[in-house]
Amino acid sequence: MLNKLVIVGVGLIGGSFAAALKRVKLPYEYIGVVRRESAAKEAVELGIVDRTVSSIAEVAPELGEGDVVFIATPTLTVANILQQCAELVSPYVTVTDAASVKGSVLEAVQDAYGCIPSQVVLGHPIAGSEQSGVAAADPYLYRTHKVIVTPTESTGEDHLRRVRHLWRMTGAEVVDMSVQEHDQVLASTSHLPHLLAYALVDSLARDEEHDNIFKYAAGGFRDFTRIAASDPTMWHDIMCANGDAIVRSLDLLTDNIAQLRTAIIARDGQAIKELFTRAKSSRDYFSRMISHRTREAKMQKVINYRLQPGGEVKGTIRVPGDKSMSHRSIMLGSLAVGTTEVTGFLEGADALATLSAFRNMGVDIKGPVDGKVTIQGVGLFGLKPPTEPLNMGNSGTSMRLLAGIVAGQTFSATLTGDESLSKRPMKRVADPLRAMGVKVDTEEGGRPPITIHGAGHTTAMHYDLPMASAQVKSCVLLAGLYAQGETSVVEPAPTRDHTERMLRGFGYEVKTEDAKVSLKGRGTLTATQIDVPSDISSAAFFMVAAAITPGSDLTLEHVGINPTRIGVVNILRAMGANLTLSNEREVGGEPVADITVKYSPLKGISIPEDQVPLAIDEFPVLFVAAACAEGTTVLTGAEELRVKESDRIQAMADGLTTLGVKATVTSDGMIIEGGAMGGGDIVTHHDHRIAMAFAVASLAASEEIRIHDCANVATSFPGFVSLAQQVGMQIEEQTL
Ligand code: S3P
């Protein structure tokens, strides 16, 4: 039998909660407690709840362990509902709420139960809208918003876990706070602004000297006072319930206003300017924060690309920073002693997942602002236990490298990821870490979530990598930092060596002799400056775009050309591409160049297997180059492509077939007959590189190409669409 989720008050907040959980098909019976008959009918008709009852008394006898009561009524009515819960609802049922003030609700819990029972978990979603009622329920209301839960010492673990899980399933980010902290934070950031907006509108409306002053008001007034249109009853409740904290914030503000008043009377321009400048810089910081969040929210929306056939590839562009190096800059900067400054950091979701994880482990990281990040390193042993599982999103690099770092800590951490990452193999890092004496739990089949039980040290070892993987190599080396003695790896084929190079940049000795890389543990990383060059993996899309488009002439500036990454250059040249490197230089231990590509006809080749690890992320777009080449291209030795963000062999072969290209899948690669390309609908499996590869294909296609689910392009290449438009591709982004 299904557990029951009882929603008391199916308005905007309760209705959106139910709608969000129903959207992801969370298996509950959804029961609304709704008094008004018309509202009850509407809630069922809209499919927001499965059935309604008119009181808690009516449903309470049905409830037991695993069931949840979610109270989503106005703040001052919560006390009454809690009274009923205390009298009627079993102590095994989880009881939670969404009220905007937590101190008054906690008092109400105490009054109702005579104690704070383990079953009660108080929470507050920081999301809303000026609309109200069940018809306004929005399954996406909480997505990427924060939900604050305020557990107390007596809160039961299982109840807490259940409430956190429910909120996470709505797409929200859950954070813990004390009740007092919550109420003070909300008083300052939400309650006080509402009070001011109401007060300003009211005093202007009552200004007798100016009849109907609003007719002169414009954007500034509109923006400042938008929230004065909110529900007065709800806000009256909040002002009463959180009076003390609001008055504290109001006193601070009143002092500030008094100072400004004095400065204005004295015409003290300096003082006024100083205050305004300080405020502006804080507001600018906030704007950047919101724009990050908007970007994140955008990634969770459905984004499709529509491309018209043909187009140009001309100009000079710079693609965003290297993903591999961006991850490592945060990791090593955090483990170093001193302040590391990073420029050129990739502000894509993958690298940002790494950044958030280290913030979550107590590292003070400022930025990114225009690619600049400042990290206050805490040393090898200065990380703090994270307060919650570390969500690595779509990023395999974050998960596998971080696993190696957590292995040496004195705490455990659980690493989770999105749907795609949750399917990817982690046994490849769990095995060597276990061999280094670390306890590692994975889900069935070695899949994430993965929990690493750090014991404060690892055991040095030698490891022969079973596959050519820079992530596994890096994981073992990073774990080796925590071992007494030498840890070494031998790779079956050279893979990207950014970990080794960057460690050296941090003053840490790493030896490379042929295929063997080794380091001694327990040294010190010393903070440094890192200039991240453009990502050759992102540049590759535009290299192929120019290579297949007659009349093209494109220069990609400041691209990282590390010899372990230039497979794409070697392969394209072998296919006959006209590609020149200029302005070659070294930046922070990594070679960099400008790359110019002009059209020239391509021919099919057998791709040398030694190039495979050096171009591992570039095959989706290289397959497009092969489809445009004359003759047959054969790829072998690339089974690793099957365990990337999608099975890239299958996904690319399916897409090419849709466009009318003959693509035959083999166990470790593909055979592609170059030829004409039509158009059609492409399934990306939410893989960023599949999406971008087919966008490039449109340049040689004869009909429109529609590419579905492209939101994850933002994991590695924010701004891809505008750069593509800038060079002359006919791409349009549609957000649903
Ligand atoms: C990466 C290594 C490669 C690559 C990935 C980034 C890295 O993965 O595909 O995009 O930064 O170390 P594997 O180690 O699985 O080959």
Question: What string of H, E and C letters represents the secondary structure of 589-644?
Answer: CEEEEEEEEECCCCECCECCHHHCHHHHHHHHHHHHHHHHCECEEEECCCHHHHHC
**Segment 434-455 mean pLDDT:** 94
Tell me the C-alpha to C-alpha distance, in Å, between residue 404 and each of 216, 440, 687: 62, 11, 25
pLDDT for 450 equals 95
pLDDT for 298 equals 57
Does 120 share its domain with 9?
yes
Please answer whether residues 195 and 168 qualify as being in contact, where contact means their C-beta atoms are separated by less than 8 angstroms: no
Does 423 share its domain with 473?
yes
Ligand 1 test: best mutation among 394, 471, 640, most atoms within 8 Å of CB? 471
CATH code where residue 18 lies:
3.40.50.720
For ligand 1, atom 13, the nearest C-alpha belongs to: 469
CA of 387 to the centre of ligand 1 (A): 28
**Which is the catalytic residue, given 617, 647, 681, 687?**
617
pLDDT for 194 equals 96
Residue 292 has pLDDT above 70, yes or no: no
Residue 642 known to bind ligand: no
Q: For residue 268, is it within any domain?
A: no
Is the minimum distance from the CB of 640 to ligand 1 under 6 angstroms?
Answer: yes
Does 98 share its domain with 26?
yes
pLDDT band of 300, cuts 50, 70, 90: low
* Structural domain count, the chain: 3
For ligand 1, atom 16, the nearest C-alpha belongs to: 469
For ligand 1, atom 11, the nearest C-alpha belongs to: 324
Does 112 share its domain with 95?
yes
CA of 644 to the centre of ligand 1 (A): 9
CA of 470 to the centre of ligand 1 (A): 6
Does 557 share its domain with 525?
no
621-637 burial, b at 16+ Cβ within 10 Å, e below that, comes to: bbbbbbbbbeebbebbb
**Segment 616-637 mean pLDDT:** 98
Helices (H), 101-231: 103-113, 157-169, 179-186, 192-205, 219-225
pLDDT digits 0-9 by tens, 185-230: 999 999 999 999 999 999 888 877 766 777 778 888 888 999 998 8
Does 652 share its domain with 524?
no
Q: For residue 190, is it within any domain?
A: no
CATH code where residue 406 lies:
3.65.10.10
- Lowest mean pLDDT across 79-83, 128-132, 164-168, 636-640: 128-132
Q: What phi and psi values does residue 133 have, to the nearest 5 degrees? A: 90, 160
> Quick one: which H or E segment has residue 501?
helix 498-505
Residue 25 known to bind ligand: no
Q: For residue 502, is it within any domain?
A: yes
For ligand 1, atom 15, the nearest C-alpha belongs to: 469
Q: For residue 570, is it within any domain?
A: yes
pLDDT digits 0-9 by tens, 262-280: 999 999 999 999 999 888 8
Last residue of a domain, one of 477, 509, 531: 531
Q: For residue 378, is it within any domain?
A: yes
Q: Is 617 a catalytic residue?
A: yes
pLDDT digits 0-9 by tens, 695-734: 999 999 999 999 998 999 999 999 999 999 999 999 999 8
pLDDT for 288 equals 67
Does 497 share its domain with 638?
no
Residue 9 has pLDDT above 90, yes or no: yes
pLDDT band of 294, cuts 50, 70, 90: low
Q: For residue 292, is it within any domain?
A: no
CA of 61 to the centre of ligand 1 (A): 55
Residue 529 has pLDDT above 90, yes or no: yes
Strands (E), 293-398: 303-311, 314-317, 337-343, 364-369, 372-378, 390-391
Whole-number CA gyration radius for the chain? 29
Q: Whole domain around residue 484: which residue ranges? A: 323-531
Q: Which two tokens stand for residue 367?
A: 């930025």
582-607 burial, b at 16+ Cβ within 10 Å, e below that, comes to: eeeeeebebbbbbbbbbbeebebbeb
308-321 burial, b at 16+ Cβ within 10 Å, e below that, comes to: ebebbbbbebbbbb
pLDDT for 722 equals 94
Does 678 share its domain with 543?
yes
pLDDT for 350 equals 94
Residue 389 has pLDDT above 90, yes or no: no
Is the minimum distance from the CB of 537 to ligand 1 under 6 angstroms?
Answer: no
**Segment 488-513 mean pLDDT:** 97
Does 453 share its domain with 545?
no
Please answer whether residues 329 and 345 qualify as being in contact, where contact means their C-beta atoms are separated by less than 8 angstroms: yes
Please answer whether residues 539 and 559 qualify as being in contact, where contact means their C-beta atoms are separated by less than 8 angstroms: yes
pLDDT band of 657, cuts 50, 70, 90: very high
Residue 219 known to bind ligand: no
pLDDT for 644 equals 96
Q: For residue 153, is it within any domain?
A: yes
Q: What phi and psi values does residue 116 have, to the nearest 5 degrees? A: -100, 100
Residue 434 known to bind ligand: no
Does 506 share its domain with 549?
no
pLDDT for 169 equals 82
pTM to 2 decimal places: 0.65
pLDDT band of 293, cuts 50, 70, 90: low
Last residue of a domain, one of 531, 551, 574: 531
Q: Which two tokens stand for residue 221?
A: 């007034």
Residue 295 has pLDDT above 70, yes or no: no
Please answer whether residues 729 and 695 qualify as being in contact, where contact means their C-beta atoms are separated by less than 8 angstroms: yes
CA of 502 to the centre of ligand 1 (A): 16
Percent of the chain whose predicted confidence (pLDDT) is above 70: 98
Last residue of a domain, one of 514, 531, 548: 531
Please answer whether residues 625 and 597 qualify as being in contact, where contact means their C-beta atoms are separated by less than 8 angstroms: no
pLDDT band of 406, cuts 50, 70, 90: very high
Does 106 share its domain with 31?
yes
CA of 354 to the centre of ligand 1 (A): 14
Is the minimum distance from the CB of 617 to ligand 1 under 6 angstroms?
Answer: yes
pLDDT for 174 equals 85
**Integer Cα distance of 502 and 329 in angstroms:** 8
Is the minimum distance from the CB of 183 to ligand 1 under 6 angstroms?
Answer: no
**Integer Cα distance of 326 and 502 in angstroms:** 11
pLDDT band of 671, cuts 50, 70, 90: very high
For ligand 1, atom 4, the nearest C-alpha belongs to: 617
Please answer whether residues 405 and 478 qualify as being in contact, where contact means their C-beta atoms are separated by less than 8 angstroms: yes
When the pLDDT of each residue in the chain is averaged and rounded to a whole number, the result is 94
**Segment 592-596 mean pLDDT:** 98
pLDDT band of 512, cuts 50, 70, 90: very high
Is the minimum distance from the CB of 470 to ligand 1 under 6 angstroms?
Answer: yes
Instruction: Report the DSSP beta bridge partners of residue 415.
Output: 390, 450
Percent of the chain whose predicted confidence (pLDDT) is above 90: 82
pLDDT digits 0-9 by tens, 169-182: 887 888 899 999 99
How many CB atoms sit inside 10 A of residue 127's CB? 20
Most confident of 28-32, 164-168, 298-302: 28-32
pLDDT digits 0-9 by tens, 147-159: 999 999 999 999 9
For ligand 1, atom 9, the nearest C-alpha belongs to: 617
pLDDT digits 0-9 by tens, 334-374: 999 999 999 999 999 999 999 999 999 999 999 898 899 99
Please answer whether residues 486 and 510 qualify as being in contact, where contact means their C-beta atoms are separated by less than 8 angstroms: no
The label of the residue with tokens 């791409």 reads 731
pLDDT for 133 equals 84
Does 577 share its domain with 509?
no
Taking phi over 0 as left and psi of -120 to 50 as alpha, with beta for the rest, 366 belongs to beta
Is the minimum distance from the CB of 329 to ligand 1 under 6 angstroms?
Answer: no
**Integer Cα distance of 183 and 174 in angstroms:** 17
Residue 644 known to bind ligand: yes
Residue 617 known to bind ligand: yes
Q: For residue 210, is it within any domain?
A: no
